[in-house]
Amino acid sequence: MNNDYLDPINALNMPETADSTFAMDFLMRAKEGVRNTAIALTEAVSLDARTLLRNQLRQCIAMHQEITDLMVRKKWFHPYELKEQYQLDQLSVNTSVMIGQMNLFPEDTRRIGMFDRTPDQHMEGDQA
């Protein structure tokens, strides 16, 4: 395992990984919205409030469906292929464990040799 979090190799496939993570989080929040709106609908007494919540519930369900369709199309979510979904979940867990084991705050953060001069070194010659 590469413990150097500044090494560019650790950014390989990171945009797609981030997109799928954000999409999964969005899907979970949409699911919470459906659940909370359904609960509110069962508690509402006013006819106007019930109508408003019923319309809101339909919109929440439609948004949940759109997110799910996107994730299935991008192969980030496999609701009907449990083996494939399990493999994705295992990959996610392993990535999380790897990130958790990285030394994100090393004592020596100097990168001597990575740059040919310090950021203000070119200005020193002009002043002399």
Average pLDDT over residues 38-60: 97
Domain that holds residue 26: 8-100
Does 33 fall in a domain? yes
Q: Domain tally for the chain? A: 1
Does 13 fall in a domain? yes
Does 15 fall in a domain? yes
Does 106 fall in a domain? no
Query: Terminal CA-to-CA distance of the chain, rounded, Å?
Result: 48
Q: Taking 80 as the threshold, does the pLDDT of residue 127 lie above it?
A: no
Q: What SS3 state is found at 41?
A: helix
Which residue is associated with the tokens 């990171």? 14
Does 44 fall in a domain? yes
Does 29 fall in a domain? yes
Tokens of 49: 């409030």
Does 113 fall in a domain? no
pLDDT in tens, 52-104: 999 999 999 999 999 999 999 999 999 899 999 999 889 888 877 877 777 76
Average pLDDT over residues 32-55: 97
Q: How far apart are CA 41 and CA 75, in angstroms?
A: 34
CA atoms within 13 A on the CB side of 64: 15
